[in-house]
């Protein structure tokens, strides 16, 4: 198998790190050990949990090396072992293009989670909607400082002075529509929501545009509608033609608008153990803010492209990475950029985005210093500990 060579003893060191974190989770090691781990890893967050049967084998080609692949898979297995954890798929891509994908846990009592499973990106979708907008700005088809009213006219509860830039970095003051109320009012699980339906349900603005940061799905539904208006194309086609096709991402789709290109596993949702695609309304109510499903491999490749030099110009990259203060509702978040978030897990700088939906939880991280990308997708709405697992995988992937 191809991949890097690890010096003698590397396998033991990587596995030893996983064991240290596990002992801390159980509360059994000397305090100094846990303090050292906390300082050099996640500033007090537990890194890993424990083990569960029905683990899918990791795929490690083109390889990071057998020892590192084994350590990464062990971390997934340990996550899956913890009571209350169900299924997870993860991927890592290094600066030189090496990839690792793995899975652990289950979609139900008889079926293991697999790397090819398509899982909810939830709000990671926002990075894609944001990228389309940034591309249109590069093409001078719109300006980030345009008011949204230039493109969408006057809309109830949408302040005319709100700019596209403010929507991208969550400083617009736009209120969050009540997706649950919309779903209940529609009472049709097969209904596919449009951006206009969701925008019509906006509540009153929360504050004057630019005053502070407030995370909202509404902003990215509005941005999706702006992109549709500017181009005359539906959002799912913009995502596929502008982003996914050029990057050769095939394990990805926008729910409600395209057929699934692979298996979508059952989810442990807020309403029980269900098949998500039987409830289109609860997915499509996210639209450009959260309606994309994909494999972890596709998400990691997307993150690598987004933060690399193949998709956006250096000037746009700098603008995208300029952070305003964090809204304060997301673990590890250090600020909001244009369609992205900053993080500081383990005392290091990362970029990316997280996601949470009724059918799964997700986190994509990119280390700009080491140029390593990590994606973690799960099939459970709550208790996924994705803010623990993804940074742990990033550290294992970064280890010498």
Per-residue H/E/C for the chain: CCCCCCCCCHHHHHHHHHHHHHHHHHCCCCHHHHHHHHHHCCCCCCCCCCCCCCCCCCECCCCCCHHHHHHHHHHHHHHHCCCCCCEEEEEEECCCCCEEEEEEEEEECCEECCCCCCEECHHHHHHHHHHHHHHHHHCCCCCCCCEHHHHHCCECCECCCCEHHHHHCCCCCCCCCCHHHHHHHHCCCCCCCCHHHHHCCCCCCCCCCCCCCCCCCHHHHHHHHHHHHHHCCCHHHHHHHHHHCCCCCCCEEECCCCCCCCCCCCEEECCEEECHHHCHHHHHCCHHHCCEEECHHHHHHHHHHHHCCCCCCHHHHHHHHCCECCCCCCCCEEEECCCCEEECHHHCCEEEEEEEECCEEEEEEEECCCCEEEEEEECECCCCCHHHHHHHHHHHHHCC
Query: Residue 100 class from Cβ within 10 Å (0-12 exposed, 13-18 middle, 19+ buried)?
Result: buried
Q: Is the pLDDT of residue 103 over 90?
A: yes
Are residues 58 and 101 in contact, defined by beta-carbon separation less than 8 angstroms? yes
User: Residue 151: what pLDDT?
Assistant: 97
User: Residue 254: what pLDDT?
Assistant: 98
Q: Is the pLDDT of residue 286 over 80?
A: yes
Strand partners, 341: 336, 352
- Pair of tokens at residue 28: 């059994």
Compute the mean pLDDT over every residue in the chain, rounded to the nearest whole number: 87
- The average pLDDT across 246-259 equals 98
Least confident of 12-21, 49-58, 308-317, 358-367: 49-58
Least confident of 58-62, 93-97, 197-201: 58-62
Place of tokens 């294992």: 396
Least confident of 40-44, 290-294, 303-307: 40-44
Q: Distance between terminal CA atoms of the chain? A: 19
Q: Is the pLDDT of residue 266 over 90?
A: yes
Q: What percent of the chain has pLDDT over 70?
A: 84
User: Residue 22: what pLDDT?
Assistant: 35
- The pLDDT confidence band at residue 144, using thresholds 50, 70 and 90, is very high
Are residues 56 and 104 in contact, defined by beta-carbon separation less than 8 angstroms? yes
Q: Is the pLDDT of residue 122 over 80?
A: yes
- Pair of tokens at residue 117: 């499973």
CATH: 3.40.50.261, 3.90.1640.30, 3.40.710.10, 1.10.580.10. Which one for 124-247?
3.40.710.10
- The pLDDT confidence band at residue 62, using thresholds 50, 70 and 90, is low
Q: Is the pLDDT of residue 267 over 60?
A: yes
Are residues 79 and 384 in contact, defined by beta-carbon separation less than 8 angstroms? no
Report d(CA 333, CA 353) in Å as an integer.
9
Strand partners, 335: 342
Q: Is the pLDDT of residue 325 over 60?
A: yes
Q: Is the pLDDT of residue 48 over 50?
A: no
- The average pLDDT across 8-17 equals 40
- The pLDDT confidence band at residue 400, using thresholds 50, 70 and 90, is confident
User: Residue 384: what pLDDT?
Assistant: 97
Least confident of 33-37, 66-70, 271-275: 33-37
Q: Is the pLDDT of residue 210 over 60?
A: yes
User: Residue 315: what pLDDT?
Assistant: 97
User: Residue 346: what pLDDT?
Assistant: 93
User: Residue 76: what pLDDT?
Assistant: 98
- Pair of tokens at residue 347: 């005392």
User: Residue 69: what pLDDT?
Assistant: 96
Q: Is the pLDDT of residue 338 over 90?
A: yes
User: Residue 132: what pLDDT?
Assistant: 98
Domain spans, the chain: 124-247
Label residues 309-346 b or e (16+ Cβ within 10 Å = b).
Answer: eebbeeebbebbbebbebbeebebbbbbbbbbbbbebb
Cis peptide bond upstream of 62, omega within 30? yes
Q: What is the pLDDT of residues 194-203, one digit of tens each?
A: 999 999 999 9
Q: Is the pLDDT of residue 63 over 80?
A: no
């Amino acid at each position: 198998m191809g991949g890097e060579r690890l010096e003698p003893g590397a396998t033991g060191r990587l596995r030893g790190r996983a064991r240290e974190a596990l002992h801390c989770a159980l509360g059994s090691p000397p305090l100094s050990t846990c303090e050292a781990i906390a300082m050099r890893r996640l500033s007090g967050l537990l890194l890993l949990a424990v083990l569960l049967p029905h683990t899918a084998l990791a795929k490690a080609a083109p390889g990071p090396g057998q020892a590192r692949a084994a350590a990464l898979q062990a971390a997934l297995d340990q996550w899956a072992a913890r009571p209350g954890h169900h299924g997870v798929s993860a991927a890592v891509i290094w600066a030189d293009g090496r990839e690792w994908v793995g899975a652990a846990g289950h979609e139900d009592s008889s079926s293991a989670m697999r790397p090819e499973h398509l899982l909810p990106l939830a709000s990671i979708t926002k990075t894609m909607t944001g990228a389309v907008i940034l591309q249109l700005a590069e093409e001078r088809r719109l300006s980030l400082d345009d008011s949204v009213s230039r493109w969408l006219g006057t809309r109830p509860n949408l302040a005319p002075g709100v700019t596209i830039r403010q929507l991208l970095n969550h400083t617009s003051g736009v209120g969050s529509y009540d997706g649950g109320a919309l779903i209940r009012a529609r009472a049709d699980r097969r209904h596919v929501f449009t951006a206009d339906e969701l925008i019509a349900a906006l509540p009153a603005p929360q504050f004057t545009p630019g005053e502070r940061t407030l995370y909202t799905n509404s902003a990215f539904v509005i941005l999706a509608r702006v992109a549709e208006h500017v181009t005359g194309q539906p959002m799912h086609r913009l995502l596929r033609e502008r982003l996914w096709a050029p990057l050769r991402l095939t394990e990805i789709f926008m729910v409600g608008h395209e057929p699934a290109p692979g298996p979508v596993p059952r989810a442990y949702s807020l309403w029980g153990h269900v098949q998500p695609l039987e409830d289109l309304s609860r997915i499509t109510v996210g639209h450009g803010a959260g309606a994309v499903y994909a494999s972890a491999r596709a998400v990691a490749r997307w993150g690598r492209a987004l933060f690399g030099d193949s998709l956006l110009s250096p000037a746009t990259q700098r603008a995208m990475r300029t952070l305003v203060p964090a809204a304060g509702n997301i673990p590890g978040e250090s600020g909001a950029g244009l369609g992205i978030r900053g993080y500081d897990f383990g005392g290091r700088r990362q970029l990316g985005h997280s996601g949470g939906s009724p059918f799964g939880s997700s986190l994509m991280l990119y280390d700009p210093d080491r140029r390593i990308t990590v994606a973690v997708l799960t099939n459970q709405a709550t208790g996924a500990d994705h803010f623990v697992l993804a940074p742990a995988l990033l550290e294992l992937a970064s280890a010498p």
